Structure 1
Amino acid sequence: MHSIGFRLLRGVDFERYSKRLYVVGTDDMLSLDQIRYVENGRDAQGAFYVGRVPRSRAVGQSWITTPLTAFECLSQVVRVMYQYTPDAIICNGPGNCVVVGLVALVPAILGIKRVPIVYVESFARVHTLSLSGKIMYLLADRFVVQWLSLAHKYPRAEYIPHLV
């Protein structure tokens, strides 16, 4: 079984990154299953922590209520990330990733610690970036796309096909 999480994390040196933080939406059961698969019993060793945060914006949610849910997500991400300070971030997917990226920039702006960010755009995005992708293109140190057409449109994008 090759889960999405496994393919995204297969190049991570778990010896070098001996403490890992996963930030997962409270309703994202698939990612939890993938974390269990990737970590394969390492939880007894305290090697990783899963921070559950609410979605910043649900699919189809009114833009009027989005600031409230985004703020709730932000407060939970701040709590989790400053309790379990990451050395690097690999992210893909929805708006929560943007919140994580923004929170990761704060220590760098304050001159405390720079946390490199790698963003992987969705495989479903063939011709245009998602809204999260457009924002993360500005924030991420490395920006990965899975379609050559996007790599041609965005000069900083790295083309790695079939990653997730």
Structure 2
Amino acid sequence: MTEVIILLKDTSKIFFLSLLAIIFIRIIYINGYRFYYIGRIPRIPRKNHGYHIVAVLGSGGHSAEMLSLLRDIDPSRYIHRTYIASSGDKFAIEKASQLEEIIQIKLRPSEPKTDANKWDPVTGTWDVKIVPRARKIHQSLFTTPFSSMWCIFESIRALHMIAKNSKAAPNEFPDVIVANGPATAAIVIFAANFIRFLGFAPAWKMKVIYVESWARVKSLSLSGKLLLKLKLCDRFLVQWETLAQNTNKNGAKKVEWCGFLVE
């Protein structure tokens, strides 16, 4: 009996150490790829069918900033554009529709905007995915972890459905995720990294570009600090030189300053 217990303990140790080794190697692989391309435009293998971009729309001014950020996107290059919004955020959904009108009018100035989920040979297609809010206004901090976990689950499911319905590359995860918002954006980014960590998506898929809000002049937002600390973004852009200097201390280039990206 004693020998069986010792054997079980040894087996448990081997299993635990093996699991840690697998996790460690996986982290090294993902972060090694990310560190190599830090400061560079995320490398996406060339393909003939165009790219799939996902934009996470935050509440209020964050959605307005995203509209300004993506106003010059080329719809003939990013042929499938998906917008993720929080449940009940009608303003964000409205901004997604406005953005599509701005994008499409460049290539089809005399024709009406193509509706969501409709395919156009010139401007491709676009759609909107809804995920639960990570935290509602005035929600108790006690229940926030539960709503956040549900948001993570639904974000993973949303990314799976986005891959399944992709017109750029069917059954492949999107190429780029752009975010600038608070809680829900951070959750979606976490979900994308979790999928990549498990190996369901290759390292060059779902490259994360996070743009800190124009309102953050001297310090990062809470979401920005968390994402930067966990190294979950392939590129982290700020819009104020002062903020870049305050963040990139001791010669470390943690964020990129690209000037004002919104109008």
The aligned residue for residue 147 of structure 1 is 240
Which of residues 70, 76, 86 in structure 2 aligns to 1:15? 76
Distance 2:137 2:220 in 1: 17
Where in structure 1 are there 5+ consecutive unaligned residues?
A: none
The aligned residue for residue 219 of structure 2 is 128
Distance 1:53 1:26 in 2: 6
Deviation at 1:103, TM superposition (A): 1.1
Distance 1:150 1:101 in 2: 22
CA deviations on 1:54-101 (whole Å, 9 max, x unpaired) are: 211234432211111101211221111111132110001111111111
The aligned residue for residue 54 of structure 1 is 132
- Number of aligned positions between the proteins: 162
* 2:256 partner amino acid: E
Which of residues 145, 154, 159 in structure 2 aligns to 1:67? 145
CA RMSD of aligned residues (A): 1.9
Where in structure 2 are there 5+ consecutive unaligned residues?
A: 1-63, 102-112, 164-173, 248-252
Deviation at 1:142, TM superposition (A): 0.7
* 2:235 partner amino acid: R
Distance 1:157 1:109 in 2: 23
The aligned residue for residue 49 of structure 2 is none
The answer to whether the 8 Å contact 2:217/2:242 transfers is yes
The aligned residue for residue 183 of structure 2 is 95
The answer to whether 1:26 aligns with 2:90 is no
CA deviations on 1:99-155 (whole Å, 9 max, x unpaired) are: 111111133223332321000111221121111101222211111111111111223
Distance 2:260 2:197 in 1: 34
Q: Which runs of 4+ in 1 moved over 6 A?
A: none
Distance 2:158 2:216 in 1: 29
The answer to whether the 8 Å contact 2:135/2:148 transfers is yes
The answer to whether 1:109 aligns with 2:197 is yes
The TM-score normalised by the length of structure 1 is 0.88
Query: Mean Cα displacement is larger for which, 118-127 or 45-54?
Result: 45-54
* 1:80 partner amino acid: A
The aligned residue for residue 81 of structure 1 is 159
